[in-house]
């Protein structure tokens, strides 16, 4: 390094050429803005009558995306995402709402949830005794 002042000037010009001039104002890039700060959360929920998803033909399916905002074909995506966040994504933590009474009829319904929740793969299956019991779990996630 023969001339430190010359080297510093060259470094400053290179930085300005690569990074652009410093204006003091920050501009959000859509690719790296607030939406990019969220881990992906996109799920597919299916339901059908039977005892396991291996033997059931799906009768209904909905999509649910929770980051950066609630979206998808789920009939109440906002509430379903809030419910998932409240359970930290643990689908086994969802319990039947108090005060909901269902018949003891056995007509099994399988719900399958597959996808990504906050960057982690999810594959979950749950069998309920009947449609009423399925709809009683949680506030809205399984109600589709």
Q: Indicate whether 139 pLDDT > 70.
A: yes
77, 85 contact by CB (below 8 A): no
Q: Report the distance separating Cα 112 and Cα 125, nearest Å.
A: 4
Using DSSP's 3-state secondary structure scheme, residue 79 falls into helix
**Model pLDDT, residue 103:** 92
Q: Where are the domains of the chain?
A: 38-96+105-144
**pLDDT, averaged across the chain:** 80
Q: Considering only the top CATH level, what class is 38-96+105-144?
A: alpha beta
100-119 pLDDT tens trace: 999 999 999 999 999 999 99
* Residue 45, H or E segment: strand 42-49
**CA-CA distance, 76 to 74, in Å (whole number)?**
6
């Amino acid at each position: 390094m023969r001339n430190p002042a010359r080297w510093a000037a060259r470094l400053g010009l290179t930085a300005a050429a690569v990074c652009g001039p410093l204006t003091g104002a920050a501009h959000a890039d859509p690719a790296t803005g607030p939406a990019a700060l969220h881990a992906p959360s996109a799920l597919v929920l299916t339901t059908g009558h039977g005892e396991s998803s291996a033997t059931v033909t799906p009768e209904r399916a909905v999509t649910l995306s929770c980051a950066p905002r609630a979206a998808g074909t789920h009939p109440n995506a906002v509430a379903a995402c809030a419910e998932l966040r409240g359970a930290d994504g643990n689908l086994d933590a969802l319990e039947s709402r108090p005060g909901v009474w269902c018949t003891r009829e056995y007509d099994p319904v399988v719900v399958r949830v597959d996808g990504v929740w906050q960057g982690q793969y999810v594959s979950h299956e749950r069998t309920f005794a009947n449609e009423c019991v399925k709809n009683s779990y949680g506030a809205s996630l399984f109600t589709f």
